[in-house]
Amino acid sequence: MDNIKIAVIANNTEDLLIRVTSVFHKRGFRIKSFVFDETNSPDLVKMDITAVGETSKGEQMLRQLTKLYDIKEADFMAC
Separation between Cα atoms, residue 25 and residue 29, nearest integer Å: 6
Q: Which is nearer to another protein, 9 or 68 (CB)?
A: 68
Smallest distance, another protein to C-beta of residue 45, A:
17
Cα–Cα dist 19/72, whole Å: 14
E strands in 1-79: 2-11, 30-38, 44-53, 71-76
Residue of 34, 52, 64, 72 interacting with another protein (CB under 8 A)? 64
12 is a site residue for another protein (CB under 8 A): no
Rule CB under 8 A: which residues touch another protein? 14-15, 18-19, 22, 26, 59-60, 63-64, 66-69
